[in-house]
Amino acid sequence: MAASWSCWALLLVSSGITHALDGGMLYPRDTPTREMKELNGIWSFRADKSLQRDEGFQKQWYKRPLRETGPVIDMPVPASYNDITQDITLRDFVGWVWYEKDVIFPSRWVEDKSSSRIVLRIGSAHYFSIVWVNGVLVTQHEGGHLPFEANITSLLKSSADSSCRITIAVNNTLTPHTLPPGSIQFMSDSSMYPKGYFVQNIEFDFFNYAGIHRPVVMYTTPSIYIDDITVITDIQGDIGLVNYEVNVAGSDYYSVSVTLRDQEGQVAAMGLGSLGQLKVSNANFWWPYMMSENPGYQYTLEVKMTTDTEFNSFVDIYNLPVGIRTVKVSETEFLINGKPFYFHGVNKHEDYDVRGKGLDWPLIIKDFNLLKWLGANSFRTSHYPYAEEIMDLCDKYGIVVIDECPGVGIRLPESFGNQSLQHHLVVMEELVRRDKNRPSVVMWSVANEPASQLHLAGYYFKTVIAHTREVDPTRPVTYVTNARYDNDQGAPYVDVICVNSYFSWYHDAGHLEVIQIQLTSEFENWYETHRKPIIQSEYGADTIPGFHNDPPVMFTEEYQKMVLQNYHSVFDEKRKKYVIGELIWNFADFMTVQGVTRVVGNKKGIFTRQRQPKSSAFILRDRYWKMANGTTSFSQMPRLTDTLKGDEFLKEAMCRKHKTITASFSQKPENGYC
How far is residue 67's CA from residue 44's CA, in Å, rounded to a whole number? Answer: 8
User: Is 1 within 8 Å of 195 (Cβ atoms)?
Assistant: yes
Do 427 and 410 contact (CB within 8 A), yes or no?
no
Catalytic residue, chosen from 350, 429, 449, 582, is 449
How much is the CA Rg of the chain, to the nearest whole Å? 26
Taking each helix axis as running N to C, give the angle between helix 418-435 and helix 455-471, from 0 to 180 degrees, rounded to the nearest 10.
30
Rounded to whole angstroms, the Cα distance separating 251 from 33 reads: 17
Q: Please tell me the distance from the alpha carbon of residue 118 to that of residue 488, in angstroms, as a whole number.
A: 48
Q: What is the DSSP letter of 513?
A: G
Other residues' Cβ atoms within 10 Å of the Cβ of residue 29: 12
List residues bridging with 218 in a β-sheet: 37, 120
Phi and psi at 650, nearest 5°, equal -60, -45
At CA 103, angle to CA 100 and CA 107, rounded to 5?
160
Please report the DSSP string for 395-453 in residue order: HHHT-EEEEE-S-B---SGGGGSHHHHHHHHHHHHHHHHHHTT-TTEEEEEEEES--TT
CA dist 61 and 58 (Å) reads 8
DSSP E strands, 471-630: 477-481, 497-500, 534-538, 579-584
Do 546 and 539 meet the contact criterion of CB atoms below 8 Å apart? no
Contact 334, 344 (CB under 8 A): no
DSSP-assigned letters across all residues of 194-220: -TT-EEEEESSSS----EE-S-EEEEE
Residues facing 256 on adjacent strands:
305
Q: Where are the beta strands (DSSP E) in 350-411?
A: 378-380, 400-404
Q: Is the dihedral of CA 642, 647, 651, 653 positive or negative?
A: positive
C-alpha count within 13 angstroms, C-beta hemisphere, residue 151: 15
Which residues, 6 or more positions from 596, have their beta carbon under 8 angstroms from its beta carbon?
none
Backbone torsion region of residue 435, taken as left when φ is above 0, otherwise alpha when ψ lies between -120 and 50, otherwise beta: alpha
Check: CB of residue 348 under 8 Å from CB of residue 357: no
- Active site (annotated) includes residue 449: yes
Beta strands in 503-652 (DSSP E): 534-538, 579-584
- Please state, in angstroms and rounded to a whole number, the distance separating the CA atoms of residues 599 and 589: 11
d(CA 401, CA 424): 20
Number of H helices, E strands in the chain: 13, 32
d(CA 664, CA 220): 59
Helix (H) or strand (E) holding 374: helix 361-374
Q: How far apart are the first and last CA of the chain?
A: 74
Closest to 178 (Cα-Cα) out of 133, 155, 208, 152:
208
Residue 146 CA to residue 8 CA, distance in Å, equals 24
- The HSE-up count of residue 493 (CA atoms within 13 Å, CB side) is 22
CB 407 within 8 A of CB 447: yes
Residues forming a β-bridge with 496: none
Catalytic residues: 449
